[in-house]
């Protein structure tokens, strides 16, 4: 990657025009080098306006991640985390999975300004344009085995709900097993990947994508209804502060999960479930459907649905959940 791309993007983050001559002077390079860097940025999918006589600018101001701001927000909890920021990376989850295999420490965090191959559940891609989303992953090591981590994605979702409520986004709701919704629109997603033995110890790489401010072009690339925090809040969202708050809530929830599993969190989770006591369709990978009414979640995070065969248990990874068509 062109080494000038992100230094120039930080300069352009104010949303103002900067001439090629001024940029070249600031970085002690030629104007041709600036032009090459702008072209490289555009190949990454970053939109940059270029106007003859005025220079270059981003479509709107962008707040970029800053490690010190995140650590300040964490306060006393910052010792729990080893935060690593990247300008661009293919996938923060893939990176931490590799690091976990190489004995990376508990609490390692990878966050990126731009993900080029971000991944969602079931192999979907996560669209993350510059400044559009907060995307990060957290490595959390457990003494228990992978078999005991049932309900972990639900616990992580609860941490995100608590974070969003700190911002006053009280209409945010959980969708079993790993999405955050506002109404019928997706605001955030969770992807958890595990390493280790079924009996223990084990490690979880927790990937989170949270929409901040989606452009129309980004929305058009996403194959489901989506929303972002900016659409629902009047305050400006600093992603570095948001990262610190989210990590703080994650630490609290994960420590609760370590002590008592999901059972100690299930009642709170259920209060914010978008589909609680509602008619749903359960969509299976083979195309089958099961209709029923959501009764709640069990202490192990399994979804309980009242069907024509009685109350049945459905585990994450087996189904998709949609509101009933009326």
Question: Where does the pLDDT of residue 153 fall: very low under 50, low under 70, confident under 90, or very high at 90 and above?
Answer: very high
Percent of the chain with pLDDT over 70: 94
Q: How many CB atoms lie within 10 A of CB 39?
A: 12
Buried b (16+ CB within 10 A) or exposed e, 106-131: ebbbbbbbbbeebbbbeeeebbbbbb
For the chain, the domain total comes to 3
> 186 lies in a domain?
yes
E strand or H helix at 114, and its extent?
A: strand 108-115
Asked whether the predicted pLDDT for residue 272 surpasses 60, the reply is yes
> Per the annotation, does 92 bind a ligand?
yes
Considering only CA atoms, which of 104, 74, 77 is closest in space to residue 205? Answer: 104
Q: Based on the domain organization, do 166 and 140 belong to the same domain?
A: yes
Q: What distance in Å separates the CA atoms of residue 120 and residue 139, rounded to the nearest whole number?
A: 17
Given a contact cutoff of 8 angstroms between Cβ atoms, the answer to whether 277 and 304 are in contact is: no
Given a contact cutoff of 8 angstroms between Cβ atoms, the answer to whether 255 and 270 are in contact is: no
CATH number for the domain including 133?
3.30.930.10
Specify the pTM. Answer: 0.90
The reported pLDDT for the residue numbered 135 is 93
Q: What distance in Å separates the CA atoms of residue 140 and residue 105, rounded to the nearest whole number?
A: 9
Question: Where does the pLDDT of residue 160 fall: very low under 50, low under 70, confident under 90, or very high at 90 and above?
Answer: very high
Give the CB-side neighbour count of residue 40, counting CA atoms within 13 A. 16
Q: Based on the domain organization, do 113 and 253 belong to the same domain?
A: yes
Q: Per-residue pLDDT averaged across 93-120, rounded?
A: 88
Q: Based on the domain organization, do 202 and 319 belong to the same domain?
A: no
Q: Based on the domain organization, do 109 and 153 belong to the same domain?
A: yes
Q: Based on the domain organization, do 95 and 192 belong to the same domain?
A: yes
> 218 lies in a domain?
yes
> Per the annotation, does 91 bind a ligand?
yes
Worst-scoring range by mean pLDDT, 129-138, 157-166, 202-211, 284-293? Answer: 284-293
Asked whether the predicted pLDDT for residue 122 surpasses 60, the reply is no
Worst-scoring range by mean pLDDT, 55-59, 154-158, 215-219, 306-310? Answer: 215-219
The torsion angles phi and psi of 16, rounded to 5 degrees, stand at -100, 165
Question: Where does the pLDDT of residue 286 fall: very low under 50, low under 70, confident under 90, or very high at 90 and above?
Answer: confident
CATH number for the domain including 314?
2.30.30.100
The reported pLDDT for the residue numbered 88 is 85
Q: What distance in Å separates the CA atoms of residue 309 and residue 140, rounded to the nearest whole number?
A: 39
> 62 lies in a domain?
no
Pairing of the two strands 82-89 and 179-182: unpaired
Q: Per-residue pLDDT averaged across 151-177, rounded?
A: 97
> 212 lies in a domain?
yes
Q: Based on the domain organization, do 83 and 43 belong to the same domain?
A: no
Q: Based on the domain organization, do 52 and 71 belong to the same domain?
A: no
The reported pLDDT for the residue numbered 316 is 66
pLDDT digits (tens, 9 = 90+) for 245-269: 999 999 999 999 999 999 999 999 9
Q: What distance in Å separates the CA atoms of residue 79 and residue 74, rounded to the nearest whole number?
A: 9
Q: Per-residue pLDDT averaged across 41-62, rounded?
A: 92
Q: Based on the domain organization, do 39 and 116 belong to the same domain?
A: no
The reported pLDDT for the residue numbered 128 is 56
pLDDT digits (tens, 9 = 90+) for 203-260: 999 999 999 998 887 888 887 899 999 999 998 899 999 999 999 999 999 999 999 9
Asked whether the predicted pLDDT for residue 103 surpasses 60, the reply is yes
CATH number for the domain including 33?
1.10.10.10
The reported pLDDT for the residue numbered 324 is 63
> Per the annotation, does 120 bind a ligand?
yes
Q: Based on the domain organization, do 189 and 293 belong to the same domain?
A: no
> Per the annotation, does 119 bind a ligand?
yes
Given a contact cutoff of 8 angstroms between Cβ atoms, the answer to whether 132 and 45 are in contact is: no
> 292 lies in a domain?
yes
Q: What distance in Å separates the CA atoms of residue 119 and residue 318, rounded to the nearest whole number?
A: 18
Q: Per-residue pLDDT averaged across 263-277, rounded?
A: 95
The reported pLDDT for the residue numbered 146 is 85
The reported pLDDT for the residue numbered 45 is 82
Q: Per-residue pLDDT averaged across 264-281, rounded?
A: 94
Q: Based on the domain organization, do 96 and 9 belong to the same domain?
A: no
Q: Based on the domain organization, do 51 and 141 belong to the same domain?
A: no
Domain of residue 103, residue span:
67-271
Q: Based on the domain organization, do 131 and 264 belong to the same domain?
A: yes
> 98 lies in a domain?
yes
């Amino acid at each position: 990657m062109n080494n000038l791309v992100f230094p120039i993007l930080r300069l352009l983050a104010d949303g103002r025009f900067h001439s090629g001559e001024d940029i070249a002077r600031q970085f002690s390079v030629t104007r041709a080098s600036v032009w090459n860097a702008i072209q490289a940025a555009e190949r990454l999918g970053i939109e940059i306006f270029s106007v003859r006589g005025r220079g270059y600018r981003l479509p709107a101001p962008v707040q970029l991640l800053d490690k010190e701001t995140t650590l300040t927000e964490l306060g006393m909890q910052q010792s729990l985390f080893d935060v690593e920021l990247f300008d661009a990376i293919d996938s923060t989850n893939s990176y931490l999975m590799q690091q976990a295999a190489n004995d990376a420490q508990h609490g390692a965090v990878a966050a990126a300004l731009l993900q080029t191959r971000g991944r969602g559940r079931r192999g979907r891609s996560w669209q993350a344009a510059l400044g559009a989303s907060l995307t990060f992953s957290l490595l959390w090591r457990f003494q228990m085995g992978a078999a005991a981590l049932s309900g972990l994605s639900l616990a992580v979702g609860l941490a995100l709900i608590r974070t969003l409520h700190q911002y006053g986004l009280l209409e945010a709701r959980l969708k079993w097993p790993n999405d955050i919704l506002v109404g019928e629109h997706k605001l955030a997603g969770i992807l958890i990947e595990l390493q280790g033995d079924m009996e223990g110890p084990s490690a979880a790489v927790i990937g989170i994508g949270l929409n901040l401010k989606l452009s129309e072009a980004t929305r058009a690339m996403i194959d489901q209804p989506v929303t972002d925090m900016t659409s629902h809040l009047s305050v400006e969202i600093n992603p570095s502060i948001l990262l610190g708050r989210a990590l703080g809530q994650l630490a609290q929830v994960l420590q609760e999960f370590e002590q008592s599993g999901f059972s100690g969190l299930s009642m709170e989770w259920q209060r914010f479930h978008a589909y609680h006591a509602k008619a749903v369709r359960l969509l299976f990978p083979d195309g089958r459907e099961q209709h029923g009414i959501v009764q709640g979640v069990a202490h192990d995070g399994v979804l309980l649905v009242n069907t024509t065969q009685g109350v049945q248990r459905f585990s994450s990874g087996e189904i998709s959940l949609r509101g009933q068509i009326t």
